[in-house]
Amino acid sequence: MSLRQSLIRQSLSRPLLVLSTPRSPAFTTLSKLYNKHPGLPGENDPGSGTHSRTDKNVKIQYPLEKNMPRSVPYQGHGGVHDKRTLASFSLEGRTVVVTGGARGLGLIMAQAAVISGANVALVDLNEAEAAKQSSAIVSHFKSENPDSSHTPTVTAHHADVSNPDSVSACITSILSTHQKIDHLITSAGFTENFDAIAYPPDRMRKLWGVNVDGTYLFATAVARHLIERKSRGSMVFIGSMSGKIVNIPQPQAPYNASKAAVRHLAASLAVEWAHAGIRVNCISPGYMMTALTRKIMDENPELEKKWVSLIPTGKMGSPEDLMGAVVYLLSDAAGYTTGADLVVDGGYTIT
């Protein structure tokens, strides 16, 4: 028991001291204690201090489609393989479905699959943007591989991931083009910040529908296809470090709960589908500087300072930091890895 806990217990255990009297000894003792330790609850608690807490004044709503910043494909040297690596990391001949593939982390992970030899089906609510990014990925691949005898096929498909009929139609569209699906990356998802008490219920249901229902619907659809083909496969769900910790100072309880669900869903399906040779893993990124995150940081500079101050590496991650992680988990190099949660957060959750 700590000193302050001991003092409180001693004060509360003396029946002759009336706590409701402002001049009583117990009141005076506790008042001094509260003032000395502002982290303790009480009417003198100013709500400040170095301890962790959320701030209900931080409110960030996910932008409308027309206000979304555009992501760009990774412009690094990724096409020409001039360094040796394990052959088991190759995705050549495979077809990878990426939900939320037109922007942010999904776009970068789709490009990682292409660089590793896979054909990719980009799935997004905004099919026009997915089509633009599909062309951009292929153009970038050709520019880095001018002498390549094979160019991966990258296609764009529409889906509202939270709608079962839309998901079913999307899978049909993908199969009509690619004939098969081997892997799935579920990157469709979003976060926004509202004090829990003030969170609009319709937006909370939408968040859960995209983040959790969308992951489940696509995973089960792809698993059904793999089982019918009697084919092995692997999936990577994109969770978040928010699925295991509570972020500060922004309040985001529904998002945190949704990502905890995604993380546990991956583990549950890994067990359920192990008999069919289907591996299911999760990647939990920390703070990543996507185009949308950059927009939020520009509008809330103090938020960036707070976030970075809590990251041991002293910086936010880049989307390309996830390229190796997703290729590993999809590939045969991770053949004995299933139900795992790979945290990529610069050490945030270990402090």
Amino acid at 295: K
Domains of the chain are: 1-51 (no CATH), 65-350 (3.40.50.720)
Per the annotation, the verdict on 59 as an active-site residue is no
Cβ(85)–Cβ(273) under 8 Å? no
In degrees and rounded to multiples of 5, residue 197 shows phi and psi of -65, -30
Per the annotation, the verdict on 255 as an active-site residue is yes
Q: Which of 116, 134, 240, 331 is catalytic?
A: 240
> Cα(257)–Cα(265) distance, rounded to whole angstroms?
12
Please name the helix (run of DSSP H) or strand (run of DSSP E) that holds residue 29, with its range, or none. Answer: helix 25-36
DSSP 160-224: -TT-HHHHHHHHHHHHHHHS---EEEE------B--GGG--HHHHHHHHIIIIIHHHHHHHHHHH
Per the annotation, the verdict on 244 as an active-site residue is no
Q: Which of 259, 284, 287, 348 is catalytic?
A: 259
Tokens of 305: 């300072």
The 10s digit of each residue's pLDDT in 85-103 is: 899 999 999 999 999 999 9
Q: How far apart are the first and last CA of the chain?
A: 23
DSSP 287-349: SB--HHHHHHHHH-HHHHHHHHHT-TTSS-B-GGGGHHHHHHHHSGGGTT--S-EEEESTTGG
Q: Which of 34, 74, 255, 287 is catalytic?
A: 255
> Cα(161)–Cα(209) distance, rounded to whole angstroms?
8
The 10s digit of each residue's pLDDT in 191-250 is: 988 999 999 999 999 999 999 999 999 999 999 999 999 999 999 999 999 999 999 898
Q: Residue-wise pLDDT tens for the chain (351 aa)? A: 555 555 445 544 444 333 344 444 443 443 444 344 444 444 444 444 455 566 767 766 665 676 666 666 655 555 555 677 899 999 999 999 999 999 999 999 999 999 999 999 999 999 999 999 999 999 989 988 888 888 999 999 999 999 999 999 999 999 999 999 999 999 999 998 899 999 999 999 999 999 999 999 999 999 999 999 999 999 999 999 999 999 989 899 999 999 999 999 999 999 999 999 999 999 999 999 988 888 888 888 888 889 999 999 999 999 999 999 999 999 999 999 999 999 999 999 997
